[in-house]
Structure 1
Amino acid sequence: MTAAQRQTSTSRFEVPRDDDANGRFIDHLRQSARAARCKSYVDLFGACALLSRDPRIASLAATDLLVRGLSQALGQRPVLFRPGETETSFDEDWLLALARSLKTDDVASATFLLHSRVPKHVRRTLVSLLRNVVDTFDRI
C-alpha cells in the first residue's frame, strides 16, 4: 500500500488505548481478518446457518463470517489494520460506530450507517452477524 493510499484509507482518529473495549474489539476483528485472508469466499446469505448454539463457538464463527463477508456487504475489500495499531481506517471506524449503535439500540444511527454503505439485501444478515459478535464479545 502506498503512502497516499494509506493516508486516504485511515481516519484522523486513533483508537484510544485507554478505551480498552474499543481497542480489544477492533483487535479481535483485525486478527480474524488476518486469519480469514487465506480462506475461501463466503456468501453472507448462507453464513447464519453455520453458527453454533455454543456462545463461544458462535461468536468466533460470526466474527470469521463477518470479516470474510464484509467485502460483499461493502462492495469493496475493507481496510483493516494489524492488531495493536493505534490508527484506525475509515472501515474500522464505520464498524465501531455501527457496533456501538447496535449495542446501545440507537436505531437512527444504525440505519444511517447501514444505508450509507450497505445494499438493502445484505443489511439484515450483516446486522445479525455484527450483533452476534457485539453481544458475545465480552464473554469470549
Structure 2
Amino acid sequence: MMPVQTLTLPHAQEPERLYTCPAFSEQDYSILNTLRLAAMGCRVAARTDLFEACALLFVDGEDAKRTYVDTFVKCLPEALMRRIKWLRPGTTEVSFDEAWVLRCLSRISADDHDSLGFLLRSQIEPGQRRYIGFLLGHISEQFPKI
C-alpha cells in the first residue's frame, strides 16, 4: 500500500480578509437606515396590495419621501413571496435583502437599466416587477431629500 501524500496549499489569506465585502457609502447607510426605520414602523401596519398602493401614490413634497418608502417596505414581501430581513437601524452589517435593495437603487442612479432589470428578475415575481421598479425609482429620486 502506498502512503498518502498531502499537497501544500498556497499561502492562505487571513480569515478577516476573506470575508470582507465592499463597504457601502455614508449615503447608502443613510438610505438603508431610513428603510430600516420604515420597516420597524410597518411591522404592525396592515399589509397593502402592491397594485392598489402604486395607483394611490401621487404625492409631492415632504410627504413623498415617507410615502414611497413606507409603501415599498410594506409591499416588498408580497413581491418577493417571502419575509424580508431588515436589521436594526445603525447596524453596519447588511442582510442579503438590504444589499439587494441598495444595489437596485445604485443601478437606478447610475442609469443602468440592464443591471436593474436583472436584479428585479432575479428576485421579484413577474407581475410585481413593474410596481417595485416604480417605487424604487421614486425612492431613488428622493435620495437627496431623505
- The answer for unaligned runs of 5 or more in structure 2 is 1-18
Equivalent residue for 1:43, pick from 38, 49, 60: 49
Q: Could you say which structure has the greater relative contact order, defined with CA pairs below 8 angstroms and 6 or more residues apart?
A: 1
Number of positions where the alignment pairs a residue of Structure 1 with one of Structure 2: 128
Identity %: 34
- TM-score scaled by structure 1? 0.85
> For the Cα contact (< 8 Å) 1:32–1:67, is it kept in 2?
yes
The structure carrying a bigger strand percent of its residues is 1
Q: Which amino acid aligns with 2:103?
A: A
Which of 1 and 2 has greater Rg? 2
4+ residue stretches of structure 1 with deviation over 6 A? none
- TM-score scaled by structure 2? 0.81
The structure carrying a bigger helix percent of its residues is 1
Equivalent residue for 2:121, pick from 115, 125, 131: 115
> For the Cα contact (< 8 Å) 1:50–1:61, is it kept in 2?
no
> What is the alpha-carbon distance in structure 2 between the residues aligned to residue 76 and residue 129 of structure 1?
18
> What is the alpha-carbon distance in structure 1 between the residues aligned to residue 71 and residue 39 of structure 2?
10
Query: Aligned in 2, Cα 1:83/1:95: closer, same or farther, shift over 3 Å?
Result: same
Structure 1 residue aligned with 2:6: none
